[in-house]
Homo-oligomer: A and B are copies of this chain.
Amino acid sequence: MALDELKGPVVLDIPADPASMFIVRALVGTVSERIGFGREECGRLVLAVDEACTNVIRHAYKHRENERIILTFLINLDYFQVDIRDFGPAADPACFVSRELEDVRPGGLGIHFIKSAFDRTEYSVPEDGGMLLRLVKYRAKEETGQE
């Protein structure tokens, strides 16, 4: 039942609003399950993409209304890729750092969750503004199965 690939990208364009996050989670959850990632791995991927979007809402858009987030999903035999695009002011990703986790205080877990779930996480600044976060998760060879 594993999904080997989709013939083109899946694009989800949503309001930058906490209320739309359940849609992102449902989509990432169903896609990672079909790809064949294990239960816990799926949970981590869902959490990571959720955190990346809530970071955009809080930090890039500072909770401004009428902003958008565009997610682009690629599924192929080798990897699962999620691009998260915003149109806020460009920031310096070198400053996006996780706090020391031993230090128990609220906040500062998002980047850690994102990096734990995906094999590659790359921020870039597109020419037409905003920020792009590219997340890549490689597939183990067993996960690509024919039926």
Contacts and interface: CB of A to CB of B under 8 A. Distances in A.
Contacts of A17: 6-8
A58 to B, nearest CB: 16
Given A26-B27, A31-B23, A13 B10 contact: yes
Interface in A11-51: 11-15, 17, 19-20, 22-23, 26-27, 29-31, 34
Number of copies: 2
A37 to B, nearest CB: 15
A136 interface: no
B15 A12 contact: no
Interface of A: 3, 6-15, 17, 19-20, 22-23, 26-27, 29-31, 34, 65-66, 68
